[in-house]
Structure 1
Amino acid sequence: MEKCKEALTPMGTSTYLDLDEIGKSVDESRYRGMIGSLLYLTGSQLDIMLSVCLCARYQSNPKESHLTTIKRIIKYLKGTTNVGLWYPKGTSLNLIGFSDSDSKGCKLDRKSTSGTCHLLGSSLVSWNCKKQACVALSTAEVECIAVGS
C-alpha cells in the first residue's frame, strides 16, 4: 500500500457493504488486525470512524469486498497525513451538543444509527455513533430513541 494512489474520501458514495455471501473469503486474522489498527487511528482521525465501524461489522466472515473498502480507507489516510484535530486558543468556551439519526440505515437488520457530537467553543471534544438496539417504524420514533439515549 506504500505506492498506492491516494483517495479523496474514506468510502465511496456508491459503496454498499453487506454480508456478501457469494464473495471470496479473506484471512480473518489479517482483516481483524487491519480493523484494530484503523480503530486506533480513529482517536486522532475522526473522519474515518463511520467507515471503519461499518467494516468492523464483518469481522467474523470478511470477504474481498470488505477488504477492498479497508484498503480505500488506507488510501484516504495516505493522502491526509497532514490533517488532524486543531484546538485554537482564545475561543469562547460554550458547550454545544448535536444529535441526529438516520431511519432504517442498515439494510441488513433495518436498525437506525444515532450519533452525537459535542463542541467546546469551536473544538470537537466528544463524538459518538451507535446502531440503535431496536427497529423503529417511523422517523419520529427513531428521533425519540436517539434523544432518549
Structure 2
Amino acid sequence: MIGSLMYLTASRPYIMFAVCACARFQVTPKASHLNAVKRIFRYLKHQPKLRLWYPRDSPFELEAFSDNDYGGASLDRKSTTGGCQFLGRRLISWQCKKQTIVANSTTKAEYVAAANCCGQVLWIHNVTPP
C-alpha cells in the first residue's frame, strides 16, 4: 500500500509528508499505522480531481517557497522543513524532511528552512541551461 501511495506522490505532492511518515514504520507496523494509511486512501477517494496541473502558457520565472514546523516531531523534537519551487505556474520540485539539527527557536528553524530552499534554487539554476 505504501508503494502505491509513493507512486501517487508524483502527481499529488501534498500527500508526501503523510505517506513518508507512514513509510517510516513499515518495518514494525502497528494497527494505528495501518489506520493512517487507510485514512490517506479514503482522502484520495473523495478528492479524485485534485492533482497537479501544468499549463502551457505559463511564464518561465523561477519562484521558491519554504516553511517549517518548529519542533513538530514528537519523538525527537526536530523541526520539519518543507519547500517547493515553481517555474511560472508549474511545480518542478518539492521537498519535505526533518531538519538535521534541533532548533532552539522558530527563527533558527526558519533560517534552516530558507537555507535548504536556497540550496535547491541554486542547484536548479546551475543545472538548467542559460
- TM-score, normalised with respect to structure 1: 0.72
Residues 62-115 of structure 1 deviation map (CA, whole Å, 9 limit, x = unaligned): 111111110011111222333321111222221100111111010110000111
| Counterpart amino acid of residue 48 in structure 1 | I
Structure 1 stretches (4+) deviating beyond 4 angstroms? none
Deviation at 1:57, TM superposition (A): 1.9
Code of the aligned partner of 2:51: G
Match of 1:108 in 2: 75
Q: Please list every run of 5 or more consecutive structure 2 residues that lacks an aligned counterpart in the other structure.
A: 117-130
2:26 aligns with 59
CA distance in 1, matches of 2:25, 2:66: 26
Residue 81 of structure 1 is matched in structure 2 by: 48
Residue of structure 2 aligned with 1:138, choices 63, 85, 105: 105
Selected match of 1:129 from 96, 104, 109: 96
CA RMSD of aligned residues (A): 1.4
Matches within 5 A, 1:85-96: 85-96=52-63
Q: Which runs of 5+ in 1 are unaligned?
A: 1-33
SS at match of 1:129: strand
Return the letter of the residue paired with 2:80: T
Q: Provide the rounded CA distance (Å) in 2 between the counterparts of 1:145 and 1:82.
A: 34
Aligned length: 116
Match of 1:41 in 2: 8
- 1 or 2, which has the higher helix percentage? 2
User: Which residue of structure 2 aligns with residue 50 of structure 1?
Assistant: 17
Per-residue CA deviations over 1:106-134 (Å, capped at 9, x if unaligned) read 01100001111011111211111110112
Q: SS in structure 1 opposite 2:66?
A: strand
SS at match of 1:135: coil
